[in-house]
Amino acid sequence: MKRAAGTGDATTLAQADVLLTANFVALLDDMLLGRVDPRKVVRAWHIAPSRVAAERRVMAAAAALRAGKAIAEIVKELRPDYGVGTPLMAGLARYRAIADSGGWKRLPPGPTLRRGDSGSVVVALRKRLATEGFTSTGPESDRFDDELLATVAAFQSRHGLAIDSVVGPATRQALNVSVTHRIAQIEANLERLRWLPADLGERFVVVNIPAFSLYGYVGGERRLTMRVVVGDEMTSRRTPIFADTLEYVEFGPYWNVPRSIAVNEILPAARRDRDYLRRNRFQILRGWGDNAPVVDPRSLSDAALFSSRYRVRQLPGPDNALGRVKFIFPNDFNIYLHDTPSKLLFESADRAHSHGCIRVADPQALAEFVLHDRDDWTGDRIASTLQSGRRVQVRPTDAVPVYLVYLTALVREGEVAFRDDIYDRDDSLIRALRARARTVGKS
Amino acid sequence: MTNRRMLWRVAAVVFIGAAVIALRPRRQQQARGTANERLNAAESPRVDSAAVAAALSRRLAEARPPLLRSDEWALVSRMYRGAERASVPVPLWGGVEQIQRRGGELIATLAAADSFGLAPDDTRSAISRAP
Cβ atoms of A56 and A86 within 8 Å: the answer is: no
Helix (H, G, I), strand (E, B) or coil at A5: coil
pLDDT tens digits for B51-102? Answer: 999 999 999 999 999 889 999 999 999 999 987 888 899 999 988 888 889 9
Instruction: Give the lowest-confidence range in A31-35, A121-125, A277-281, B41-45.
Output: B41-45
Cα gap A274→B20, rounded to integer Å: 86
From the list B52, B117, B130, the residue facing A187 with the nearest CB is B117
Cβ atoms of A239 and A356 within 8 Å: the answer is: yes
Residues in chain B: 131
Q: Which residues contact A118 (CB under 8 A, 6 or more apart)?
A: A142, A143, A144
pLDDT, mean over chain A = 91
- Band (pLDDT 50/70/90 cuts) for residue A7 is low
Per-residue pLDDT at A137: 57
Using only the alpha carbons of chain A, give its radius of gyration.
27
Which of chain B's residues have a Cβ under 8 Å away from the Cβ of A15? Answer: 55, 59
Residue A437 has pLDDT above 80, yes or no: no
Which of chain A's residues have a Cβ under 8 Å away from the Cβ of B123? Answer: 23, 26-27, 30, 440
Cα gap A219→A239, rounded to integer Å: 27
Cα gap A283→A22, rounded to integer Å: 63
Question: Which whole number is the average pLDDT over A272-289?
Answer: 89
What sign does the CA torsion over A409, A410, A412, A413 have? positive
Residue A440 has pLDDT above 80, yes or no: no
- Band (pLDDT 50/70/90 cuts) for residue B45 is very low
Cα gap B15→B107, rounded to integer Å: 10
For chain B, first and last CA: distance in Å? 26
Cα gap A229→A175, rounded to integer Å: 25
Cβ atoms of B100 and B19 within 8 Å: the answer is: yes
A99, A57, A113: which is closest to A184 by C-alpha?
Answer: A99
Cα gap A435→A440, rounded to integer Å: 9
DSSP single-letter state for residue B82? T
Element (H, E) at A434: helix A426-442
The percent of chain A in helix, strand and coil, each rounded to the nearest 5, is: 45, 20, 40
Burial of B56 (0-12, 13-18, 19+ CB in 10 A): buried
Which of chain A's residues have a Cβ under 8 Å away from the Cβ of B124? Answer: 26, 30, 440, 443
Residue A201 has pLDDT above 60, yes or no: yes
Q: How many CB atoms lie within 10 A of CB A332?
A: 9
From the list B96, B106, B118, the residue facing A20 with the nearest CB is B106
Site from A3, A7, A20, A52 to mutate, B interface, most B CB atoms within 10 angstroms: A20
Residue A106 has pLDDT above 50, yes or no: yes
Cβ atoms of A21 and B106 within 8 Å: the answer is: no
Cβ of A31 within 8 Å of Cβ of B65? The answer is no
ipTM of this complex prediction, to 2 decimal places? 0.79
Per-residue pLDDT at B35: 31
Per-residue pLDDT at A17: 94
Residues in chain A: 443
Q: How many helices (H) and strands (E) does chain B have?
A: 4, 0
Cα gap A201→A441, rounded to integer Å: 38
Strands A221-231 and A352-354: parallel
pLDDT tens digits for A253-268? Answer: 999 998 889 999 999 9
pTM here is 0.86
From the list B73, B99, B123, the residue facing A30 with the nearest CB is B123
Cα gap A308→A304, rounded to integer Å: 8
Which of chain A's residues have a Cβ under 8 Å away from the Cβ of B30? Answer: 5-6, 9
Cβ of B46 within 8 Å of Cβ of A9? The answer is yes
Per-residue pLDDT at A403: 97
Per-residue pLDDT at A138: 58
Cα gap B115→A226, rounded to integer Å: 31
pLDDT tens digits for B1-41? Answer: 444 444 444 455 455 555 555 555 443 333 333 333 333 33
Per-residue pLDDT at A402: 97
Cα gap A387→A383, rounded to integer Å: 6
Cα–Cα distances in angstroms (integers) from residue A285 to residues A294, A296, A300, A316, A390, in the given order = 4, 9, 11, 15, 21
- Band (pLDDT 50/70/90 cuts) for residue B43 is very low
Cα gap A362→A64, rounded to integer Å: 45
Question: Which whole number is the average pLDDT over A21-50?
Answer: 90
pLDDT tens digits for A207-265? Answer: 999 999 999 999 989 999 999 999 999 888 999 999 999 999 999 999 999 888 999 99
User: For a pLDDT cut of 70, what percent of chain A falls above it?
Assistant: 96
Cα gap A395→A385, rounded to integer Å: 15
pLDDT tens digits for A316-342? Answer: 988 899 999 999 999 999 899 999 999
Question: Which whole number is the average pLDDT over A404-426?
Answer: 95
Site from A2, A3, A9, A65 to mutate, B interface, most B CB atoms within 10 angstroms: A9
Q: What amino acid occupies position A422?
A: I
